[in-house]
Chain A
Amino acid sequence: MLQTAPPHAKRHHSGLIGDQPAPPAQDIARLKKTKRDQAIHPGWLVAPASLWLIVFLVVPLIGIVVFSFWTPIRGGMTPDFTLINFGNFFRQEGFFDPEHRNFLKLSIFLTTLWTTFRFTITVMAVCLIIGYPIAFFLAMQVKNFKWQLALFLVAMVPFWTSYLIRAVAWLPMLGRRGLFNKMLMNLGIIDKPSSFFLYSEFGYTMALAQLYVVLCIGPIFFSLAKIDKNILEAARDMGASNFQVFREIILPLSLPGVAIGMIFLFVMLMGEFATAVVVYGGKTSTTGTVILNYYATANYPFAAVNAIMLMLAMMIGVFFILRVVDIRKEL
């Protein structure tokens, strides 16, 4: 006969790999008692982090929001409330004027934000296409844990060196006199060096994907490694094809990792401006460069408006990623 167990005894909590049985009730009770009696109040544990975040994140953020409403003057700003900075962000000269070159064209700052977003999405897609199979291979095909770890570290090797070295390394690869052009010429595919690879959208996308792909390999690898192999076996025993196993079990269970990886990528790529300079030869504007250009000539309110818009875009992006995958539920 089944006994009614205390509710928590039935619950399982998930460990890093597979589910673990919940500890017996008396242990929990004992632990809870100890905690109440001796342990430091949890509030104290989060205090340093909270304080740090408040001083170095929340306060500056409030500052940015406040400054965006101040009036810019030559050489700074005055605390006079104005909406002109936001107006300037959206306003475009000659928007409705059919004679004007800007007829029905959106403000350049919106367009720039959109360009930044477009590159971000493209690179995220490339990263996913490259990153998922790598993570899949590591987690599913490599059986030995030691090898898994070793190969995962190999995938990380480029990240042992600085970001800028990795970006600059593309120049001798893709340039007019670069390795890639030499190879194609030796193979007789092209007869004179192509300038298509470097300082182009192609080179830029490739470089960004290489620079950031590990950010999504990690989380996807961990969520794949967590999948209980017995479930896969059970599915196969019941006659599921490899594709069915992937579609019905592996893919849904790896989505939290994908979502986390995509959030990492999204946030990093939206704020990106250095790679555009090095690999794209500055031939595009990102919202990051706009902020820098206005900051450099002391128009802080307008730089602040651009920063706020970038933040809003990031928040909306993250919100949508989380709408697709409910990470909390999945974990």
Chain B
Amino acid sequence: MQFFGGSDVSPSPPATTAAGHNANMMYMFNRNGVCLFYREWNRPLHTLNPQQDHKLMFGLLFSLKSLTAKMDPTSGDKGNLGMPQLPGQGCSFHCFRTNTYKLSFMESPSGIKIILVTHPKTGDLREATKYIYNLYVEYVVKNPMYAPGTPIRCDLFTTNLDQYVRSIS
């Protein structure tokens, strides 16, 4: 687990490339399903209002997690489908892909979920979501004015995130 290891956010954010419009949007949920943070960079299509969109996204992840936990071919006793599971327990997933987007998912041990939606051709973004988690630790958790469980309104976090996301390829 690298989550707590490096708060070394500053050293080397990957070099920004010219093709910098791969990210569509990002969601962040806490373990209760509250949307802490939502940001979109490129989203031409809105099918629902924001609240419903966040709920649907959380519901999708929740159900996909119970699906993967149930389908896990490496363990025998998995309980019933939809059995409540702690973060890190059971088989989870790290990404799925459709013809129009790719969704990368990371869950921290404390149940913070980071969801990054990008262009379907982007590579493995597990490191990217971890980096974003580290940004969250640096600029949000360490911010004395931030009350846990409330929507994130930290300028430093947003600017650093915007800058980093441009480098995702």
- Determine if chain A interacts with chain B: no
Interface residues of B (CB under 8 A from A): none
Interface residues of A (CB under 8 A from B): none
